[in-house]
Structure 1
Amino acid sequence: MREFTADEQTILNLHRDWWEANAGLDVPRMRRVFPTGDAYLMFNLNGHPYFGIEEKTALWEWYRSRLVISMPEVHIMRLDVSGDLAYIVAEGVFPSRQLREVGDDGELLVIGESEQSFPDEIRMRATEVYKRDDGAGNPRWTMWHFHCSPIPPADEPRPSAGDTSAERGLGTVPGHETFSVVSP
C-alpha cells in the first residue's frame, strides 16, 4: 500500500470512524466526524436528505430504537486531497439490519428479519466530501457532505463495458489501487 500524507491519513481516520460508528450506531463517535451546526448535508441510503449534525443525530437515535446494524464492508476507489478540500469515493456492502423490539422489562430485543425489515445487505456506493473547517471556522478536517446510494446487482453487466462488479470486484478501478481502512 502506498504512503499517505498527513492530510490523507487524517481523512482516512475520519472515514474509518464514520463507517465503524455505523456499526452499533455510535452517536458520539459519529458526531466527531462532522462539522458543528447546520453546515453538513447528507443524502442517506434511505433516499432522504438530512441537514446538519442535529438532524443526523436525530436520525441515528431513531434508528437505534429500531435497528441493529453490523460492520459495513467499504472499499475506497479514490482518495484525493487538494488544499482544504478532500473526497473519498467508495463501494461496499451495507450489512444486515435487524428490527428491534422493546421487551416488558424495557430491554431491547432483536426480533429478526420480517416483511417490514430491510434486505440482508445493500450493495452501495458512497461519496464523502471533507473540508478543513469544523463548522466554526477552525482548521480541522470534517465531513461536510455524504451521499450513499444503491449499486446494481453484482451480476448485472455494465452497459457498453460488459463486465460486472462481481468480475471487477467491489471498489476496483482499472489502474488504481483499492483499499479499505474499515475493520471487518
Structure 2
Amino acid sequence: MSTAMDPHAVTEDVTFDGGTPAEQRAVLAAFRTFWTANNTFDIPLLETIWGSDPDDVYFNSNGHNYHGVEEWKEVWRYYGPRFVTTVEAQLSRVRVLIRDGLAVVSDEGVRREWEAHDVDTNSTTVAATPRVRGTVVLTKTGAGAGSSGAGSEWRVVHAHFSPRRSGPRVATDRQ
C-alpha cells in the first residue's frame, strides 16, 4: 500500500474560490483526512472530521443514502473486512468553494484499487478499479465558527459519490 496523503500539501490540481489561505489549507486538509480514513475504513480518523448531527445525509456510491455518522460507521464496519485498498485514492480536478463557514469540495475523478475479500470463503480477488466523482460539504464548527478565528474546525456534513462515466458527454466533444 502507498503512503498516506499529506493532508497539508497543496497540489497543482486544486482550484480555490474564496476563503483565506488558512481556510483553504484547513478545508483541503479535512478533505484529504476524509480520503485517508476512507482508504482504510479508519473509523476513529473519520470521527475527527465527520459532523455529529444525525440528520446529516451521505450518498454512498453503492446507491444508498445514510444519515448521521453512526450509519456511515456501520457502512464502514460492513465494508472494512471485505475490501483492502491496494492503491489509495488518487484525486483529480479538485475544486474548493468557501463561503462564510461553508465549503464545497468537488473531485471529478477519484480512482483507487481494492482487493475484495470474501468473508464466507476466506478468499481474495482483485476488485474492479472504481472511478467515482464526489462532492463533500463541510461546515466550520467550534470557536470562531463564523470567522477565520482560532479553535474552529471543518467537519464533513454531506458527501455524495457516484460513478464517473468515460467517453464523450452528450452535446459536447469534451471527455
Q: CA–CA distance in 2 between the matches of 1:40 and 1:131?
A: 11
The answer to whether 1:159 aligns with 2:170 is yes
1:125 partnered with 2:136 = no
2:91 aligned with 1:74, yes or no?
yes
Structure 1 counterpart of 2:109, which letter?
A: G
Determine the C-alpha separation between the residues in 1 that align with 2:66 and 2:81: 19
- 2:141–2:153 Cα contact (<8 Å) kept: yes
Structure richer in strand, relative to its length: 2
* 8 Å contact from structure 1 (residues 76, 88) kept in 2: no
Return the match for 1:96 from 104, 107, 113: 113
What TM-score do the two structures reach when normalised by structure 1?
A: 0.72
User: What's the CA shift for 1:18?
Assistant: 0.6
Measured at CA, do residues 163 and 62 of structure 1 come closer, stay the same or move farther in structure 2, by a change above 3 Å?
same
Give the unaligned 5+ runs of structure 1: 165-184
The 3 A distance-change label for structure 1 pair 133 and 96 is same
| Aligned pairs, number | 151
- CA shift digits 1:43-89 (9 cap, x unpaired): 01111111101111111011112111241111243211111111111
How far apart, in 2, do the equivalents of 1:157 and 1:96 lie?
Answer: 24
Deviations 1:89-140 (A, max 9, x none): 1122332322224599xxxx66114xxxx5x212211111111136xx9943
Paired with 1:94 and 1:75, the residues of 2 have a C-alpha distance of 9
User: Do the aligned residues in 1 keep the contact of 2:110 with 2:132 (CA within 8 Å)?
Assistant: yes
How far has the Cα of 1:8 moved from its partner?
1.1
Q: Is the 2:82–2:119 contact (alpha carbons within 8 Å) kept by the matching residues of 1?
A: no
* 2:46 pairs with 1:35: no
| Structure 1 vs Structure 2 CA RMSD | 2.6
TM-score, structure 2 as length reference: 0.75
Given that 1:129 and 1:145 are in contact with CA atoms closer than 8 Å, whether structure 2 keeps it comes out as yes
Q: Which runs of 4+ in 1 moved over 4 A?
A: 1-4, 101-104
**Aligned mates of 1:161, 1:132 — CA distance in 2:** 37
Structure 2 spans left out of the alignment, 5+ residues: 1-11, 146-150
Aligned runs of 1:1-184 on 2, under 5 Å? 1=12, 5-70=21-86, 71-101=88-118, 111-113=124-126, 118=127, 120-133=128-141, 139-153=152-166, 156-164=167-175
Deviation at 1:163, TM superposition (A): 2.1
Q: Give SS of 1:96's match.
A: strand
Contact 2:110 2:134 in 1 (8 A): no
Counterpart-to-counterpart distance in 2, 1:29 and 1:128: 16
